[in-house]
């Protein structure tokens, strides 16, 4: 948000010094509690980061995904083989793996971004509707790695269709709904004015959640914070289409 405020300030012709000062104050005030927490962590544990979840994800998802892709295994299989690596070595190994295989990392990252925006979240819906999980199906849960390992997206869907039609069709319906929402949200920027500071800040928050996501599973859950924003933009676009309102968004 600080970057957006600074970019917006650079585009203006008045009060630049004052606006830059405001952006700096915002950065200091918003960062102070985080820095205090990291200082506390270092004093108490010798670890200066905000959370060890980052190192955990680097090892168990980033490294595992890259190695699994190159060895044609599933991520779960690779994670099992990596379980004995010491915690102190995990981050170094993850960074080295990314540097050694940047194109593989980029390929997986792009796939993760597509999953972030398009994952239907059918498992969550199934839990709400009938307390149901596809991995409770013994024939699928026991042989999941062998059934989906190395298969394309379409191939995996055929496995789901065979072992759990309810899961498959729930995903199809929710995917169509998601595409409608994203299409309308994109329409917002075609039908309305989006060059306002408030809209840019909201879009910046959405982009932040997206670009910081690597495929660490359950993409729909990580997308939840921006779903209200998608609904906001898609709802406005739908209103413009239904009312044929000539005015742009302000």
pLDDT band at 15 (very low <50, low <70, confident <90, very high): confident
Model confidence pLDDT, tens digit, residues 196-210: 778 888 888 899 999
Question: Which pLDDT value is given to residue 199?
Answer: 83
CA distance 140 to 135: 6
pTM, entire model: 0.76
CA distance 47 to 225: 28
Residue scoring higher pLDDT (24 or 165): 24
Question: Which pLDDT value is given to residue 121?
Answer: 85
Question: Which pLDDT value is given to residue 143?
Answer: 57
Question: Which pLDDT value is given to residue 110?
Answer: 93
User: What is the average per-residue pLDDT within 226-240?
Assistant: 90
Question: Which pLDDT value is given to residue 192?
Answer: 62
CA distance 212 to 215: 10
Question: Which pLDDT value is given to residue 123?
Answer: 76
When computed from its CA atoms, the radius of gyration of the chain, rounded to whole angstroms, is 22
- Counting every residue written for the chain, the total comes to 250
- Is the CB of residue 132 less than 8 Å from the CB of residue 166? yes
Does residue 131 surpass a pLDDT of 60? no
Least confident among 116-120, 146-150, 168-172: 146-150
Full DSSP string of the chain: -HHHHHHHHHH-SS-HHHHHHHHHHHHHHHHHHHHHHHHHHHHHHS--SS-THHHHHIIIIIIHHHHHHHHT--HHHHHHHTTTS-HHHHHHHHHHHHHH-HHHHHHHHHHHHHHHHH---HHHHHHHHHS--GGGSHHHHTTHHHHHTT--HHHHHHHHHHH-HHHHHHHHHHHHHHHHHHHHHHHHHHHS---SHHHHHHHHHHHHHHHT--S-S-HHHHHGGGHHHHHHHHHHHHHHHHHT--PPP-
Question: Which pLDDT value is given to residue 250?
Answer: 45
Residue 67 CA to its chain's centroid (Å)? 21
CA distance 106 to 21: 37
Does residue 92 surpass a pLDDT of 60? yes
Model confidence pLDDT, tens digit, residues 144-168: 556 666 666 777 778 777 777 877 8
User: What is the average per-residue pLDDT within 27-41?
Assistant: 92
Does residue 80 surpass a pLDDT of 90? no
């Amino acid at each position: 948000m600080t970057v957006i405020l600074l970019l917006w300030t650079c585009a203006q012709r008045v009060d630049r010094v004052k606006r830059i000062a405001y952006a700096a104050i915002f950065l200091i005030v918003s960062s102070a509690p985080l820095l205090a927490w990291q200082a506390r962590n270092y004093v108490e544990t010798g670890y200066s980061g905000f959370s060890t979840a980052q190192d955990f994800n680097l090892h168990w998802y980033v490294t595992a995904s890259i190695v699994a892709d190159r060895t044609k295994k599933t991520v779960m299989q690779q994670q099992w083989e990596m379980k004995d690596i010491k915690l102190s070595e995990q981050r170094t190994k993850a960074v080295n793996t990314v540097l050694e295989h940047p194109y593989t990392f980029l390929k997986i990252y792009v796939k993760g971004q597509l999953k972030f925006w398009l994952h239907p979240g059918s498992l969550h819906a199934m839990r709400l509707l009938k307390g149901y999980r596809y991995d409770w199906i013994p024939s699928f849960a026991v042989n999941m790695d062998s059934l989906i390992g190395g298969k394309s997206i379409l191939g995996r869907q055929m496995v789901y269709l065979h072992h759990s039609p309810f899961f498959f069709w729930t995903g199809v319906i929710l995917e169509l709904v998601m595409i409608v929402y994203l299409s309308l949200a994109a329409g917002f920027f075609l039908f309305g004015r989006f060059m306002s500071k408030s809209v840019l800040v909201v879009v910046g928050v959405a982009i932040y959640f997206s670009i910081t996501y690597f495929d660490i599973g359950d993409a729909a859950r990580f997308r939840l914070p921006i779903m209200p924003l998608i609904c906001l933009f898609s709802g406005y676009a739908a209103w413009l289409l239904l009312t044929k309102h000539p005015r742009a968004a302000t």
